[in-house]
Every structure is written in structure tokens, then in C-alpha cells.
Structure 1
């Protein structure tokens, strides 16, 4: 997959910002699944969402290094993924009320 046509954000670590935001969103989505589908308590749902997101990010990076020839493991991607997951967990932890619409 080539990302040559994306706009330049003027940051040398632009892809790290994307990783950070993507794993923030991934953690929020996992949290919603654990809270609403599996009916876990808020604290446990946050814990599982963060663990799943971090482990998923590490597994993806290792697979990129071992299963492809054009991609390599990037420790900074793992750090950005972890920081995104942790920020999402902090927001969820300190949020007093969650307004989630059930369908």
C-alpha cells in the first residue's frame, strides 16, 4: 500500500500521529465492546481494552517484520500505539458519565 498521495502535515513523525490517534480510537471501540456487549464493569472494560490494543499493536509490528519483505518492525510505532491506548484509557477513567446510546 502506497501513501504517496497523502497531504504532508509538515511533521517528520506524521505517521506516529496517525498511529497514536488510531489506537486511541481502537481502545475506545474495544472499551465499548467490553462494556456493552460483554457487560463488564467500566474499570474492567478499560483494562481489557488497553491490554488488547497494546498486544494487538505489538503483534502487528512483529508480523510486519517477519511476514513481509517491504515492512519492518518500528519500535516508535509501538510507542505511539501504546501512548494512544493509554490516553484513551485516561479519558475513559476520568470521565464521570458515559453517554452511550444502546440500540
Structure 2
């Protein structure tokens, strides 16, 4: 995605912050879905989601460097993507009992 229309931040390597934020929201979406609708094997689901999102970030990074001429491969992007996923992973793992109680309160 061209980044010309994104607000300019006075932070060096600001695109890494964008990657982190994007993967935090992507991870929040997936982990929330599995908490609410797929609670049977929660630990396994969390591990699979985290692994899948990290692999997805790597695949996207590789594909953008091979399929486009205006994007490049960057290990720091992969690290930022993975960090966003892992932040949400650990937040959900540390608050698992609270999230299960919330799920039961929602009666989903």
C-alpha cells in the first residue's frame, strides 16, 4: 500500500510503528473471535493464531519484494509485525480467565 497519504510522524522508521499497530489490531480481531466463538481449545487456538499471523507477516514481506517493483523485503517489518502479534498474544494469555468470564457473561 502506498504510504503517501498516511500522516507524517517525526519518528525515525515510523513505518515500523505502523506495522506494529496494524498487527496489534489484526491480532486483537482474531484472538477476540476465538475467545467469543471458539472457546473449546483456547490454548491451542492462541498458539495457532499467533504462529499463523507471524507466518502471514513473513509471507507478505517476501511476496511484496518478489511481486512488486516498488516494495522491498525488510526484516525489521517482520519483527514489527511479530511484535504486534506477540503483544496481543501475551495480553490475552495473561488475562485468559477474565476473558472466559466475559465470554460467559455475553452468553455467546
Q: Could you state the TM-score of these two structures normalised by the residue count of structure 2?
A: 0.81
Q: How does 1:12-23 map to 2 (within 5 A)?
A: 12-23=12-23
- Segments of 5+ residues of structure 2 without an aligned counterpart are none
Once the two structures are TM-superposed, the CA of residue 7 in structure 1 deviates from its matched residue by 2.1
Q: Could you state the TM-score of these two structures normalised by the residue count of structure 1?
A: 0.85
Please give the root-mean-square deviation of Cα atoms over the aligned residues, in Å.
Answer: 1.9
Richer in helix (by share)? 2
Q: Which residue of 2 aligns with 1:56?
A: 56
Once the two structures are TM-superposed, the CA of residue 23 in structure 1 deviates from its matched residue by 0.9
Once the two structures are TM-superposed, the CA of residue 38 in structure 1 deviates from its matched residue by 4.1
- Segments of 5+ residues of structure 1 without an aligned counterpart are none
SS in 1 for 2:98: coil
CA 1:40–1:55: 2 relative to 1, 3 Å: farther
